[in-house]
Amino acid sequence: MMRMKAFAFLVAVLLISAGTFLEGHAQAATKPAVLTKGTSNGDVWDLQFRLKTLGYYQTALDGQFGTQTLTAVRKFQKDYGLAPDGVVGPNTWKALKKYSLNRSELDVMAKIINSEARGEPYKGQVAVGAVVMNRIQSAQFPDNIRDVVFQPGAFTAVDDGQYWLTPNKTAYLAAQDAVRGWDPTNNSLYYFNPDTATSAWIWSRPQTVKIGKHIFAK
C-alpha cells in the first residue's frame, strides 16, 4: 500500500513538472505578431497599453490598430531611434519591452514599489521603480521585469513575502512615472537602507543620492 502511494505521488510530481516545463516552453516560444494598420488581435491591446503608459496613446484601448495607434507608434519609433514606418516588428517590440510595461507587468512594478518603499516619500517610491527600469535596460540584469524582481536575493520584500501585499493607488502612479522615464536616482542600479544594511559590498557601490531612508547607488 505504501509503495502504491509513493508511486502515485511520484507520478503526480512528474506530471506537474512536465506541465510546468511545457507551459514555460510555450510561453518562451510565443512571440508578438508583426502589427500594421488594420490589425486586430490581442497583441494590439498590449501595444496600446504600452504606448498609453508611455504617454503616446491618449484614447481608450480598443484592440484596433487604427490611425491613432499608427500615429503613436511612429512617434515612439522616432523618439527611440527606430525607422518611423508604423510597422511594429521585432525591433519595435524589443524597444517597447525594454522601455515600457504591459498591464500585468505594471502590476509587478506596483507590488515591488509598494512592498519595498511603502511609507517612503512619493519621489522615493518612483526612485525604486526607476531602479527596476534601469535594471531591465542594463546588460548586467535580466531584460524583463519578472526576472529582475524575482532574481534570487534581489529584493528583500520578495524574500520575506511582503511583495504579495496589495499595492495602493500611489504605488501604481509611481510605477507609471518610473516607466515614463522619471529617474530621481541618476541611473542607479541599487539602493539600500543605511540603518539596516549589513553588506559591505553594497556600501562599496558609488552612491548617487539619498531619498527618504534609501541611498541609491550604481
Question: Which amino acid is present at 156?
Answer: T
Q: Are 92 and 50 in contact (CB under 8 A)?
A: no
Bridge partner list, 215: 192, 210
Helix (H, G, I), strand (E, B) or coil at 209: strand
Q: Please give the pLDDT value at position 131.
A: 98
Helix (H, G, I), strand (E, B) or coil at 31: coil
Query: Going residue by residue through the chain (218 aa), what tens digit of pLDDT does each one get?
Result: 434 444 444 334 333 344 433 334 444 447 889 999 999 999 999 999 999 999 999 999 999 999 999 999 999 999 999 999 999 999 999 999 999 999 999 999 999 999 999 999 999 999 999 999 999 999 999 999 999 999 999 999 999 999 999 999 999 999 999 999 999 999 999 999 999 998 999 999 999 999 999 999 99
CA separation for the pair 182, 201 (Å, rounded): 27
Task: Report residue 163 as a C-alpha cell.
Answer: 511583495
SS3 content of the chain, % helix, strand, coil (to 5): 55, 5, 35
What are the distances in angstroms from CA 209 to CA 96, 125, 127, 201, 218? 28, 14, 10, 17, 10
Task: Report residue 206 as a C-alpha cell.
Answer: 558609488
Question: Which amino acid is present at 24?
Answer: G
Cβ neighbours for 95, distance < 8 A, ≥ 6 positions apart: 76, 77, 80, 82
Q: Are 194 and 215 in contact (CB under 8 A)?
A: yes
Chain length of the chain: 218
Helix (H, G, I), strand (E, B) or coil at 101: coil
Q: Please give the pLDDT value at position 31.
A: 81
CA separation for the pair 184, 103 (Å, rounded): 24
User: What φ, ψ does residue 119 adopt, rounded to 5°?
Assistant: 90, -10
Q: Look up cell 496600446; give the residue.
A: 48
